[in-house]
């Protein structure tokens, strides 16, 4: 690491935030990070990681708290303990986020941390990552964010950034983007005054007469247009975080609710607010069930191009829909939360699982992650607060009667019966699935976060 950078960071840990003497040190760090190699960025992260709490100071402050003779002394000692528990790097970050630095600098530092750690997990830098996330969460408080509808009249640079960031359904050129910005296909984004003209998180909405069950009906540019003023349903079909450094900050949850409020005000005939969401964990879950999945289902799924064969698809439809509903209602992680990351995002936001859709996304990516199934999560405004509290308290699954009925009818073979099943070898099934091209993988989404962060998420 450059010695001048190290000296400046050391100085910033001691200088009061806003002190004029700190400005030159902020410039040194800012300018160095702007041209730093990956190795130099890692050195900066290591230095920030070492700027933790002073354990001796904490222990001394704790002893004073324990020995406080009266209430006045106790409150004074507790204040000292709070100060002792503040990592030294918090002051450095506050310096870097203010002039002549900028909030963008801290966002980029965290983005670098996530880029340099395996699978986006902080690993050895976990304490630093937690502090960076908390620091940024206070700066990106929902009350400070502006919700804007993006239109074709926005700057080309902003629209290009939007198209490049879209992580759920890739934008296929300018005509595709223009269609998504139409009157009955809208895009809303959060902006922060410290990052002007930079969409932090955005959602795409389709205004329709009924809740769509397939993504092609939304993205089809030749589909008949709907009079937005007469539309009855608003469907959120993509939620994306445009800033890697803000991963883990729940912008997506607030984004949906703010959009619902705005749409209700602008379009009073809207009655249904829902999503058309992927089920990214379904295929992996089904594979893990092994021979508990009926032989007939495994045989069809092991047949290349089954979705284009009308007879095979018709035979598979009901069993796979039932298994999909079973996955939504019953597949859990070890802590009792739903296994599916998108489901965790929406149920945690107060929605309910409303309908599982057959071949909602028959693209290569859709087949790879969920055998084409998609799901509608419904935001019933009168039930959102109750659902949200019930999920937060005990991971209660809010689901429609139709989803629960399908889940109850799912056929899973008991282990002893599975051993007696005849049919095509399961290894062939696995081989076909595992051999699907990796090009179908998408970037991280807000609504399906890799860490149990997913959407940020949809």
**Number of alpha carbons in the 13 Å side-chain half-sphere of residue 191:** 14
> What CA–CA distances, in Å, run from 20 to 13, 24, 348?
14, 8, 45
Which residues sit opposite 376 in a β-bridge?
A: 355
pLDDT for the residue 119: 55
Peptide bond into 283 cis (omega under 30): no
* Measured distance between the N- and C-terminal CA atoms of the chain, rounded to whole angstroms: 41
Mean pLDDT, range 219-234, rounded to an integer? 93
Tens of pLDDT, residues 299-343: 999 999 999 999 999 999 999 999 999 999 999 999 999 999 999
Q: Which structure tokens are listed for 54?
A: 């002073």
Q: Which segments within 193-295 are labelled E, that is strand? A: 201-208, 233-241, 272-275, 277-278
Question: Residue 455: its pLDDT value, please?
Answer: 40
- pLDDT the model gives residue 233: 98
Q: Where in the chain is the domain with CATH 1.20.140?
A: 3-52+87-139
CA–CA distances in Å: residue 295 to residues 284, 316, 421, 424: 17, 11, 7, 8
Residue intervals in the chain for CATH 3.40.630.150: 143-458
Q: Can you give the pLDDT at residue 414?
A: 62
The sign of the CA dihedral 330, 334, 335, 337 is negative
Average pLDDT of the residues of the chain = 89
Q: Is the pLDDT score of 182 beyond 90?
A: yes
pLDDT of residue 54: 87
Q: Give me the architecture of the 143-458 domain, per CATH.
A: 3-Layer(aba) Sandwich (3.40)
Rounded distance, CA 29 to CA 309, Å?
61
Q: Contact, 147 vs 259, CB < 8 A?
A: yes
DSSP class of residue 212 equals: -
CB 167 within 8 A of CB 152: no
The token duo for 38 is: 């990956």
Confidence band for 116, pLDDT divided at 50, 70 and 90:
confident
Q: Region 17-35: what's the mean pLDDT?
A: 93
pLDDT over 90 (residue 444): no
Cα–Cα separations (whole angstroms), residue 189 to 142, 165, 176, 254, 300: 12, 12, 18, 11, 42
Q: Distance (Å, rounded) from C-alpha 344 to C-alpha 9?
A: 39
Mean pLDDT (whole number) for 205-230:
94
Q: Provide the CA 285 distance to its chain's centre, in angstroms.
A: 20
Q: In whole angstroms, give the CA distance from residue 110 to residue 97.
A: 13
101 within 8 A of 26, measured Cβ to Cβ: yes
The CATH topology of domain 3-52+87-139 is Butyryl-CoA Dehydrogenase, subunit A; domain 3 (1.20.140)
CB 152 within 8 A of CB 181: yes
DSSP lists the bridge partners of residue 274 as 235, 378
Instruction: Please determine, for residue 425, whether its predicted confidence score (pLDDT) is greater than 70.
Output: no
Structure tokens at 133: 């996330």
- Burial status of residue 258 (CB atoms within 10 A of its CB: 0-12, 13-18, 19 or more): middle
Count of Cβ atoms closer than 10 Å to residue 214 Cβ: 18
């Amino acid at each position: 690491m450059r010695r001048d950078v190290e000296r400046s960071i050391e100085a910033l840990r001691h200088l009061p935030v806003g002190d004029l003497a700190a400005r030159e040190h902020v410039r040194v760090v800012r300018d160095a990070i702007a041209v730093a190699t990956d190795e130099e960025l890692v050195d900066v992260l290591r230095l920030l990681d070492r700027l933790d709490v002073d354990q001796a100071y904490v222990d001394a402050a704790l002893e004073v708290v324990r020995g406080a003779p009266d209430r006045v002394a106790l409150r004074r000692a507790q204040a000292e303990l709070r100060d002792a528990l503040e990592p030294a790097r918090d002051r450095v970050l506050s310096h870097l986020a203010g002039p002549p630095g900028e909030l963008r600098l801290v966002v980029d530092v965290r983005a670098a941390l996530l880029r340099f750690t395996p699978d986006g997990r902080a690993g050895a830098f976990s304490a630093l990552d937690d502090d960076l996330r908390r620091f940024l969460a206070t700066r990106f408080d929902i009350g400070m964010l502006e919700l804007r509808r993006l239109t074709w009249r926005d700057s080309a640079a902003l629209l290009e950034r939007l198209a490049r960031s879209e992580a759920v359904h890739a934008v296929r050129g300018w005509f595709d983007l223009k269609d998504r910005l139409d009157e009955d296909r809208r895009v809303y984004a959060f902006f922060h005054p410290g990052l002007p003209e930079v969409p932090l998180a955005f959602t795409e909405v389709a205004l329709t007469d009924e809740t769509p069950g397939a993504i092609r009906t939304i993205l089809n540019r030749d589909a008949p247009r709907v009079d937005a003023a007469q539309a009855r349903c608003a469907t959120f079909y993509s939620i994306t975080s445009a800033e890697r450094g803000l991963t883990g900050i729940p912008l997506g949850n607030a984004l949906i609710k703010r959009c619902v409020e705005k749409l209700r005000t602008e379009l009073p005939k809207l009655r249904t607010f829902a999503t058309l969401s992927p089920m990214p964990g379904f295929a992996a879950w089904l594979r893990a069930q092994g021979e508990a999945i009926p032989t007939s289902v495994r045989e069809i799924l092991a047949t290349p191009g089954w979705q284009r064969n009308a007879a095979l698809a018709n035979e598979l439809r009901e069993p796979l829909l039932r298994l999909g509903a079973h996955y939504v209602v019953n597949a859990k992680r070890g802590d009792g939360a739903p296994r599916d990351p998108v489901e965790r995002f929406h149920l945690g936001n107060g929605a309910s699982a409303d309908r599982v859709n057959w071949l909602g996304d028959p693209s290569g990516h859709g087949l790879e992650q969920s055998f084409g199934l998609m799901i509608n999560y419904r935001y019933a405004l009168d039930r959102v607060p109750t659902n949200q509290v019930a999920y937060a308290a005990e991971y209660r699954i809010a689901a429609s009667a139709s989803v629960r009925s399908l889940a109850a009818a799912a056929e899973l073979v008991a282990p002893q019966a599975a051993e007696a099943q005849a049919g095509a070898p399961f290894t062939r099934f696995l081989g076909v699935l595992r051999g699907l091209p990796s090009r179908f993988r998408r970037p991280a989404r807000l609504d399906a976060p890799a860490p149990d962060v997913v959407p940020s998420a949809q």
